[in-house]
Structure 1
């Protein structure tokens, strides 16, 4: 494969684009401020074709109670607490089916039914109330599942198991219930470097570079491939996906290597399907790839720090989020406790625009509401969610002044019901 020309971007670490695999050429992986009206039981419910918008928040127990349920005020973004679903341990990641009938949740544990694995549960969403009813629970086929995504066909659920380093595919029945895994992959590789080569001076951002630790898995937009990240071995894997059976098989090449010690964490495809963006945890970088949809090949374009120029010390980048129109990408920094906004140009490259304090400590996840008018920062160590309005023209964030107290929030998902 021919090399791309050097691309110069101010404030970025730029490398020549190259594919990477074990034996080939090497390269280094969900608004204007709303009104301040209060929302209580007497206020009218926000509706959409007669439906109410609900939010579900996964939490780490015992600070959190399980899956917390809220009614959403569409005018202000505020969340009105309803009765939570208790009894599920560490529901760290959530996913909703396309028909908004079923909520899926992992249980990030290392023992389920006497096995050294975690579990995944399916809940029916009750129309009108948003109440959840357990449909069933299955083995995640790995320890400590931390990520879920649905295949575009809706027939499979993809799971990343952090502590075991495995990824699994679970079949989804027509009623939303889950079957036992039809495909499990646990690639082995040497542990990554203890210190991030691209980290800022003085950083001691070191976590779990002791072997495989799968952190995320997402399907490609056309469903023919899946991309998974492994923080512990500094690799981003590409899998071929069999839509008939749900089987994962290694792509060609099977992975791209991150810079040493970077710790690939989460990825997201651009709406046009031509680019993939990745956030690394230890290096705190935003990495941009071009994506060949026909062959499932990633080609490195750019790597930029998510931390401001001159910053020194430790921080852990966490979540990556694209605006609905694909013009902006946002990354959350833990310890630095900011949300950084980048613009995306016509070539898929990014440039830093602004950063906004999260209003709390250790933002594990940031998500948009369905309209894209509000952004929710789940500040894990502050035990709350901070709500931001999004300026639709500039993409800039403005704190609404609203917090929602939730113990150790880990993920949030929205449903019209």
Structure 2
């Protein structure tokens, strides 16, 4: 049930965000059934996987995977706004632990789902693990997990990435000291680069230093300006991985890989055109993603997403091998409503389909994609309703 307070919290996002969210007073109508393309990045160093695979998805049914493009370890992908009625660009990081690692640009034919490689550029560091594209289609940003760097790129008129515009090295002491976990936090590990819903700011999660950093973005040039304060610290040894914005634009939820927790931050910005600032404040509300009694040492938390109505948060656990559903209360706090098996082993990534009626989950170490039906009223999942075999799935992207 939507209260007046929840509506007032959501209202700024409806007015300001470039994305369209459904009014909380009207239940979202299911989109007409249609066949969609699903692209799945795989670990090409294990099994027989060769790159990016394509499936159809219709009425909750996932088609058999076919190889769409051979490319090294496409562990994360992003898609640009449409360049014309039938073409978009798909960008894939090539997650090899080598300073010569690359980002590959593909032209995507929206009708056939065919991918055509257009160019490769340096990722500006070893082990690229995340790429974000702004909604203007002018700039992109990459995190390099092993190299300890982030980089920015222009998206050129032909839909390809430029060479790196700027590179920021997180070995610099200004980004904070290393965390207390000697195995996982021996050096900086930028794990994700998230663009704010208004395209004005970039938020970077550094697993190695237990910190988040904020930059303002010039989308026309892809240049970044450090915000003040630059660094927001999280709990020592938590290992920040990914974040999810709430539709109200004021709450950010952070999933921590190392201690399997979720933190909520308050997000505020200035409207200055010449010196914009983005500020993160830890709300001091930490919840575990694990069932009581499950040892945190045997788990790493992975993905986090918030439903577009702002009512539910979803997270995945690798080790416990579960998907967890939380209700989001009016004050932003979380209440667990469901814990369900991922239907496989090591659920690295999951995603909503465009109707938000289904969730697809990639189980990396059991070589499978599982499909779950989602109840938009209760947030709960049913399934798996289907399991599709595919070696070492890394990432799932609808297009």
TM-score range, shorter chain: 0.7 to 0.9
Which residue is equivalent to 1:368? 352
Which residue is equivalent to 1:300? 282
Pairwise mapping of residues 247-286 of structure 1 onto structure 2 (< 5 A)? 247-286=223-262
CA-CA distance at 1:184 after TM superposition: 1.1
Q: Within the alignment, does 1:402 sit opposite 2:378 as a pair?
A: no
Which of the pair is proportionally richer in helix?
A: 2
Q: Residues 338-384 of structure 1: CA distance to partner in whole angstroms, max 9, x if unpaired? A: 11111112222222111111011111001111111110111100011
TM-score by length of 2: 0.84
Which 10-residue stretch deviates more, 362-371 or 77-86? Answer: 77-86
CA distance in 2, matches of 1:110, 1:311: 31
CA contact (8 A) 1:102 1:122 kept: yes
CA distance in 1, matches of 2:62, 2:265: 36
Find the partner of 1:105 among 74, 92, 96. Answer: 92
Q: Residues 39-66 of structure 1: CA distance to partner in whole angstroms, max 9, x if unpaired? A: xxxxxxx975xxx411000000132220
Find the partner of 2:120 among 137, 160, 169. Answer: 137
CA distance in 2, matches of 1:291, 1:84: 39
CA-CA distance at 1:207 after TM superposition: 4.9
CA contact (8 A) 2:65 2:390 kept: no
Which residue is equivalent to 1:161? 144
The residue matched to 1:125 in structure 2 has which SS?
strand
CA-CA distance at 1:83 after TM superposition: 3.6
Pairwise mapping of residues 354-365 of structure 1 onto structure 2 (< 5 A)? 354-365=338-349
Where structure 1 has 5 or more consecutive residues not aligned to the other structure, the ranges are 1-45, 195-205
Q: Quick one: higher RCO (CA 8 Å, sep 6+), 1 or 2?
A: 1
RMSD of equivalent CA atoms: 1.7
Aligned length: 351
Where structure 2 has 5 or more consecutive residues not aligned to the other structure, the ranges are 1-31, 271-276
The residue matched to 1:80 in structure 2 has which SS?
coil
Pairwise mapping of residues 13-412 of structure 1 onto structure 2 (< 5 A)? 48=34, 52-62=35-45, 63=47, 64-73=49-58, 75-86=59-70, 88-99=71-82, 101-111=88-98, 116-187=99-170, 188=172, 189-194=176-181, 207-294=183-270, 295-301=277-283, 302-313=285-296, 314-412=298-396
CA distance in 1, matches of 2:123, 2:295: 39
CA contact (8 A) 1:273 1:293 kept: no
Structure 1 residues 207 and 389: alpha-carbon distance in aligned structure 2, compared to 1, 3 A threshold: farther
CA contact (8 A) 1:290 1:348 kept: no
CA contact (8 A) 1:318 1:332 kept: yes
TM-score by length of 1: 0.81
CA contact (8 A) 2:80 2:135 kept: no
* 4+ long deviations beyond 6 Å: none
